[in-house]
Amino acid sequence: MLALLVYAFIYSNTKVVLREYDVASAELPAAFSGLRLAVVSDTHGKFDRRTLDAVFDADPDIILLTGDIIDDAAQIQDAADFAGALADRAPTYFVTGNHEWATDAAREFISKLSLLGVHVMDGRAEYFEKDGGRIVIAGLPDPTAHGDNPSPAAVLENTKDDFVLLLSHRPYEPDHFAEFGTDLIVSGHVHGGMVRLPGLGGIIGPGREFLPKLDGSRAYKGANGSTLIVSRGLAGVKFYDTQFHFPRLFNPREVVVITLTKG
């Protein structure tokens, strides 16, 4: 029993798995069928070769960084090297999480990523074009962001006729943004509930809540056609202001890979 626990502990805190999802949508232009998105979320300053190799193995067309990439200003240079390596491989899009804003160095981090060609999507929407077709990639900053945060309505204005991929570090119910025509929402934040148990799923959420509902167990479908995918992330949860991270258990670190299909 002890040996199993030790193995599970090491497995969940070192290995990186690729978790694959397929998302079908009638809104998707035919040219985008088969497009692959790799999601890197909640690294919390841990930028290891395993994560990079997992992303490269997934051979993505687009890479999504969905926040809590750093939780300390001292991690900015390592994070920039990591994000730069990703952006060299495929177009890379980033939104902030609560931990970026807790550092008070979020603006510096954003500037650094922008210089490297990473698309910083806090409160913005862009077209991504391919073979005559286009989709919208949009993002919302974490609600703890400092300064003026544009509303979802402002960010997603005039996007209803397009396939809309929305990045939001915090997961909301899949229909939360449906009135703006979202088709796919990608989030992180929950770390899969840190410890996962059969029949219960994730045990602890980022706000210390018990049995978080959107713990990345599956793709969540909304009644209005939106799909929410929540990455279980790539690190433990930082313990308040210390450098200690609560370890994960029965919950391997993951790079999510989403394949879009015309459905």
In 3D space, the residue among 43, 100, 76 whose CA is nearest the CA of residue 235 turns out to be 43
Tokens, residue 77: 């240079």
The CB-of-235 to Fe ion minimum distance in angstroms stands at 10
The CB-of-55 to Fe ion minimum distance in angstroms stands at 20
In 34-135, alpha helices (H): 49-58, 76-89, 98-102, 106-115
* Footprint of Fe ion (CB under 5 A): 68, 97-98, 189
Cα 179 to chain centroid, rounded: 22
Exposure of 102 by Cβ count < 10 A (0-12 exposed, 13-18 middle, 19+ buried)?
Answer: middle
Q: Which is nearer to Fe ion, 26 or 242 (CB)?
A: 242
Question: Which residue number has the CB closest to Fe ion?
Answer: 189
Question: Do residues 87 and 118 touch, judged by C-beta distance below 8 A?
Answer: yes
Q: Which is nearer to Fe ion, 142 or 183 (CB)?
A: 142
Q: Which is nearer to Fe ion, 189 or 245 (CB)?
A: 189
The CB-of-189 to Fe ion minimum distance in angstroms stands at 4
| CA angle at 166 for the pair 165 and 168, rounded to the nearest 5° | 150
Which of 115-130 are b and which e, b meaning 16 or more Cβ less than 10 Å from the residue's Cβ?
A: ebebbbbbbbbeebee
The CB-of-260 to Fe ion minimum distance in angstroms stands at 25
Q: Which is nearer to Fe ion, 68 or 122 (CB)?
A: 68
Q: Which is nearer to Fe ion, 189 or 253 (CB)?
A: 189
d(CA 25, CA 221): 12
The CB-of-141 to Fe ion minimum distance in angstroms stands at 12
